[in-house]
Amino acid sequence: MISCKDIADTILDYLEDELDPERRARLEVHLNRCPPCINFLKTYQKVTTVSRKVLKDKAPPALFGRVMDFLREELDAASPHTKQERRGEGT
């Protein structure tokens, strides 16, 4: 069973369609049961779609990759899942 943290870690690969079918299926099972993760996915999707549209024509691939990394960090930091995981750590 995958956790919310796994969703946050793999969501970009999921949206880029880079996950293998098994991992993708497990991720979708989790999404079906976890409304917060669906919200997270929708937010991520919106941000990545908009940035791609804006950057595609004008930005070189290297810059696009850096912007995506930045967005991933920002969104991970904003995710409630990340905070939940941190609270449980260290025991």
Residue 4 binds Zn ion, judged by CB under 5 A: yes
- Residue placing its CB nearer to Zn ion in the complex, 55 or 85: 85
> Looking at 19-27, 37-45, 55-63, 82-90, which segment touches Zn ion (CB under 5 A)?
37-45
Residue 37 binds Zn ion, judged by CB under 5 A: yes
Residue the block writes with tokens 């796994």: 6
Distance, CA of 30 to CA of 37 (rounded, Å): 8
Question: Could you tell me the end-to-end alpha-carbon distance of the chain, in angstroms, rounded to an integer?
Answer: 21
Which residues lie near Zn ion (CB under 5 A)? 4, 34, 37
